[in-house]
Structure 1
Amino acid sequence: MARQDLAPPRLRPADVLRVGAVGLRTRPARAFLSALGIAIGIAAMVGVVGISSSSGAELDRQLSALGTNLLTVSNGQTLTGETATMPLEAEAMIERIGPVLSVSSIGAASDAKVYRSEAVPEAQTGGITAYAARLDLLDAVGATLRDGAWLNAATQVYPAVVLGSTAAERLGVGAAGPGTQVLIGGERFTVTGVLEPVALAAELDTAALVGWPVAEERLGFDGHPTVLYTRADERHLEAVRDVLAATGNPEAPNEVDVSRPSDALAAKQATDQAFTGLLLGVGAVALIVGGVGVANTMVISVLERRAEIGLRRSLGATRGQIRVQFLAESLLLSAIGGVGGVCAGTAVTVGYAAYEEWPSVIPAEATAGGLAATLVIGAVAGLYPAVRAARLSPTEALAAH
């Protein structure tokens, strides 16, 4: 009767996991340090992508709340390099453009310096500018009050002022009130309100805003607008933008600057994304370093476990099974680091977003990509040690022991 060769038993998935975890259980400190290298790289990548995405979500939320249909018309430069002046009728002319929904404006009272009191030296202006402001300015720019009240039909003719957020800070004004006054153009103005930072009109953050009539009467304001804030129908925004300069100053349209504030915010976000790319590169380097650590751990593991390899070969394990064992160990080690890194990166993103009061956004592709990267790193790092272990013959391995 012919002898029948018995095929070696096949390793089931559960068996592969069990034998792959042998090296991790017997050398936990080394396994932890190797997994930590992978975890740091994955945490950096997930955290960077998550924080960047959360920042972008906050920008989208701001723009949705403030609107992207705001266009500003401001004084440009004359041919001789001096600051140009818009006509007195500029606001009324722009209001006649069909798709324009609303127009508001501010006008600089350039000669009226702003101080906390008479004791402040004249040279220490703090970079604060006094502006005459229309009553509908807040709605036009999407501004909100931190404290107090905005100008109204009554207070716009009296020495009342609303301070921008930065202006209030520089003047040492914490809150509005009847007893809080600042000096504008040599006259005392009562602070009736303080603004929150204005995302779409940063010039208002360093402004002292007074009523249009009182500015003309007491601050030597000539009535010419400095900046016009125009809300237009989104469907015709570009068309309105193209005609604003010629409409606002028909005699010298080249002396008018037209901008869309939301574009500046989008440009800032693009800059942040470029910086995010740099940080992702740093995270990738950390991930590669972690992969080198896994590879080093697996090579040392093969050298230290020759007796185990020889014994398993003597008991009938094939080279393929030995190769699978060490490859599974490397993949398991990397997967542990990857899961830990994703959890750490997620925690960092959620914590930072909560601190900044942003919506927390963690793209699924970031976590999935991070885990996939760890498996690739684990496979590459474990391939050579696995092949080396499989090449050991039973006699060679047992003799080395």
Structure 2
Amino acid sequence: MTGDAFTGTPATDGTTTGGSAAGGSAAAPVSRVRPGDLLVTGTLGLRTRRLRAVLSALGIAIGIAAIVAVLGVTRSSQAALLAEIDRLGTNLFTVASGSGFGGGERPLPVSATPMLRRVDGVIAVAPTTQLNATYVYRNDLVPVGQSGGLAVRACDATLLATLDGRVAQGAFLDTLSTAHPVTVLGHEAARTLGITRLDPGTRVWLGGHWFTVAGILGPFPFAPEVDRSALVGFGVAEAILGYDGHPSRLYVRVRQNRVEAAGALLNATAGPANPDSVEVTRPSDALTARIAVAESGAVLFVGLGAIALLVGGIGVGNIMVISVLERRGEIGLRRALGATRGHVAGQFLAESLALGTAGGAAGVLIGAAVTVALARDRGWSVLLPAEALWGGLAVAVVVGALAGLYPALRAARLAPADALRTV
């Protein structure tokens, strides 16, 4: 057969005996096979049974693709969250007094804002107030109860700079507009109200009055309550919406080197009479928690991918066993012509390795494609961990080798005489 170089007469146990020109006193040369010929012989079954080979490799490809995609998507999303944290900083605090009856925010003392501004290390304080029982609608024909879960929040011009936010369309509230019926919509609020672009006459029905929409904000990852609110100035809120001067939520930006020290003083400063009723949180901690949740979810999906990979490996092993049974005649003929047990085992092991390698390469490509597509759809930077790419391929090769080990040993143990009976 191709690649087998041997001389002499095959014995019944598969070894080769033979003589020489000197009358057989010299030892017979050892039968050998070159690596290139082993590759050709080992892939013969794959080339002649292509559909079976594709279906066998598909199981491994699915498992590897799942592992690569999960690791790639998780790493890309983590990078996006970390970039958001780095951009907005970990030095932003929110100070609130919890939720009152009906889900609204409870008021803080009027002195909370000026007192917080006196804390050492505080850079800026942006007071806001949720105006309870005040809602915003697209027009005055919408039934009162259908508010879409949106809130109305009073604030001043310091809010945008303190949160390091941006205006997607229009302009934010300024000193003049805060005293007039003008509103700026949060990102989610504008989408819920169906306002995708601003026209000169764009208005909303807010608290029983028409308010001109001056701007639409970009998303606020650190302040989702702002995303779901219509923002108005303190002046107009006091004049026509019943604002009593008490803030209900304050955003506090401190110097980076004073985060821990200043944070420890905020609740007592905002509510000196009852510090325990004041909640001080860092929104960046929530994003960090999301990263931990994403990592735990990734472990689950990687486990599912490993199960799919195991099933694929079992499928390859099953196919290889069937291949050995179908090719008993070929095995017997090769043994009779001088192929050793190692050559036969190497042939079927090479076939199993080829299946594992092909499935692993296909799985890596599919997983990478899924990661790139999802990352671009979400606006993330594409990150494909090297350990997922090379590790996935290496795992596929190992699975292919383990799946083909038993069939290869079974083929090697076939005696030439028994195998040739099937010819």
Q: Which TM-score tier does this pair reach, normalised by the shorter chain?
A: over 0.9
Residues 111 and 219, structure 1, Cα contact 8 Å, conserved in 2: no
Equivalent position of 1:74 in the other structure? 96
The equivalent position to 2:390 in structure 1, one of 348, 368, 393, is 368
Give the Cα–Cα distance (whole angstroms) in 1 for the partners of residues 304 and 160 of structure 2.
43
What is the RMSD computed on CA atoms of the aligned residues?
1.9
Q: Which has the larger radius of gyration?
A: 2
1:13 to 35, 45, 48: 35
Encode CA deviations 1:242-276: one digit per residue, 9 max, x unaligned. Answer: 21100111111111111111111221222222222
Change (3 A) 1:93 1:258: same
Match of 1:107 among 99, 105, 129: 129
Question: Does the CA-based 8 Å contact 1:35-1:333 persist in structure 2?
Answer: yes
SS of equivalent to 1:400? coil
Distance 1:125 1:83, change over 3 A: closer
- Residue 120 of structure 1 aligns with which residue? 142
1:146 & 1:11 partners in 2: Cα distance?
70
1:302 paired to 2:288: no
Measured in 2, the distance between the counterparts of 1:84 and 1:106 equals: 12
1:349 CA drift (Å): 0.8
Distance apart, 1:107 and its partner CA: 1.3
Q: Which moved more, 1:110-119 or 1:44-53?
A: 110-119
Contact 2:106 2:248 in 1 (8 A): no
Secondary structure, aligned partner of 1:396:
helix
Q: Equivalents in 2 of 1:227, 1:67: separation in Å?
A: 19
Structure-2 residue corresponding to 1:266: 288
| 1:245 aligned onto 2:267 | yes
Partner AA of 2:320 in structure 1 = M
C-alpha contact 1:115 1:182 (8 A) present in aligned 2: yes
2:180 paired with 1:158: yes
* Equivalent in the alignment of 1:49: 71
CA contact (8 A) 1:77 1:256 kept: no
Q: Distance in 2 between matches of 1:386 and 1:206?
A: 64
Partner of 2:356: 334
Q: Secondary structure at the match of 1:124?
A: coil
1:283 and 2:317 aligned: no
Using the alignment, how far apart are the partners of 1:44 and 1:11 within structure 2?
38
1:92 equivalent to 2:114? Answer: yes
Distance in 2 of aligned mates of 1:231 and 1:126: 31
Q: Name the % identity.
A: 49
What SS is found at the alignment partner of 2:120? Answer: coil
Pairing of 1:372-383 with structure 2 (within 5 A): 372-383=394-405
Q: Deviation of residue 82 (structure 1)?
A: 9.8
User: Which structure 1 segments of 5+ residues have no match?
Assistant: none
193, 215, 232: which one pairs with 1:171? Answer: 193
In 2, the alpha carbon distance for the partners of 1:350 and 1:118 equals 45
Please say if 1:203 is aligned against 2:225. Answer: yes
**Superposed CA offset, 1:196-244 (max 9, x none):** 2211000011211111222122211111111111112233312222211
The Cα of 1:302 is off from its aligned counterpart by: 0.8
Select which of 334, 340, 352 maps to 2:374.
352
Q: Secondary structure at the match of 1:258?
A: strand
The 3 A distance-change label for structure 1 pair 186 and 86 is same
* Letter of the 1:113 counterpart: Y
When normalised by structure 1's length, the TM-score is 0.95
CA distance in 2, matches of 1:264, 1:92: 27
Which letter does structure 1 place at the counterpart of 2:188?
T
The count of aligned residue pairs is 399
Q: Deviations over 1:319-356 (max 9, x none)?
A: 11211111111111110110011011111111111111
Q: TM-score, normalised by structure 2?
A: 0.90
